[in-house]
Amino acid sequence: MLGNSKRNWCNTRMSLLFYGVVHPYRLTLVPSCARRSLHLILERVPRRPNTMKCLVLLAYSAVASATSYFLTVYAPNTEVDGGLFQAAGQGFYTGTSGPATYCPDNVKPCPEVQGTLVHAGLTGMAVAVPGGQAIYVAPSGAVEYARAHSSYIPEGSIIGGWFNKTVVSDCDPTISVLDFLSTDGSNIGGVKVCPDIESWMDGTGASFRLYAGTKGFNLTNCVDAVGLHLNPVAADVGCWQYI
């Protein structure tokens, strides 16, 4: 049995195909019984033209070239699905006709208002004002942005915590969304869309406000969204500053 096993082992070649950055490669393990050794052979494998490669490269190029995005809700089979978020009063709301913006008279020309635009990962608002406007999650869970010319963020707020999530469905195309997980170690997170609108937003059409799950979040009549869809646009900034 040992002799047969030895002969079988001597006649065995094991190959592993893997892909480098540009070309596929084959790694072959070849035993040598005469020398009682193993040989590793690395060879590049010719590849046939593949149109999918071009499509993938084009997709990556489109994403890489985008620097700003507008936000919509991804919550299938709910009333808020596809809702467009607009910036107002340092918060994000659906239902309003547009964002609340400002540009001082001494800025010439003021950038054209392109809607509510954010940077990838919700790191900040896509604005022209020097210093930008950071995005954070307040202790209450409200997703907010800082005032222009100010670095003030309420104590206990969370900066970051946003991550990309791929959603695979049998019925719909695969989609990438942004989800939230608190960075304070509480393992609390999620995207919440809530109808609790402040009284000072009356008359604006605001119907839902954007929240994230935190230890201080205590609203109960909200929609748990799957995530936020970042829609790329060609514009670099949405306005001079959001108010």
Q: Which helix (H) or strand (E) element contains residue 2?
A: helix 2-10
How crowded is residue 73: how many other Cβ atoms within 10 Å of its Cβ?
24
What confidence score (pLDDT) does residue 76 get? 94
Q: Which of 15-19, 75-79, 189-193, 234-238 has the lowest mean pLDDT?
A: 15-19
**What integer best gives the mean pLDDT of the chain?**
82
Q: What is the pTM of this model?
A: 0.73
Q: What would the pLDDT profile of 200-237 be if each residue is shown by its tens digit?
A: 999 999 999 999 999 999 999 999 999 999 999 999 99
What confidence score (pLDDT) does residue 170 get? 80
Ramachandran angles phi, psi of 122, nearest 5°: 55, 40
What confidence score (pLDDT) does residue 24 get? 53
Percent of all residues in the chain with a pLDDT value above 70, rounded to a whole number: 73
What confidence score (pLDDT) does residue 169 get? 80
Cα 35 from Cα 31, distance rounded (Å): 9
Q: Which of 8-12, 117-121, 129-133 has the lowest mean pLDDT?
A: 8-12
Please state the separation of Cα 36 from the chain's center in Å.
53
What confidence score (pLDDT) does residue 242 get? 99
Check pLDDT > 60 for residue 42. no
What confidence score (pLDDT) does residue 198 get? 95
Q: What would the pLDDT profile of 93-114 be if each residue is shown by its tens digit?
A: 999 999 999 999 999 999 999 9
pLDDT average, residue stretch 173-188: 93
Identify the CA nearest to 125 among candidates 173, 170, 86, 182. 86
Cα 119 from Cα 67, distance rounded (Å): 6
Name the one residue in this structure whose structure tokens are 């170690």.
185
Q: What would the pLDDT profile of 2-40 be if each residue is shown by its tens digit?
A: 444 444 545 555 555 544 444 455 555 555 555 455 555
pLDDT average, residue stretch 125-149: 98
Residue 12's Cβ-count burial label (10 Å; 0-12, 13-18, 19+) is exposed
What confidence score (pLDDT) does residue 49 get? 40
Count of alpha carbons within 13 angstroms of residue 27, beta-carbon side: 6
Q: For strand 37-44 and strand 24-32, is the pairing parallel, antiparallel, or unpaired?
A: antiparallel
What confidence score (pLDDT) does residue 18 get? 46
**Residue pair 230/71 in contact by the 8 Å Cβ criterion:** yes
What confidence score (pLDDT) does residue 83 get? 98
**Residue pair 157/137 in contact by the 8 Å Cβ criterion:** yes
Cis peptide before 109 (omega within 30 of 0): yes
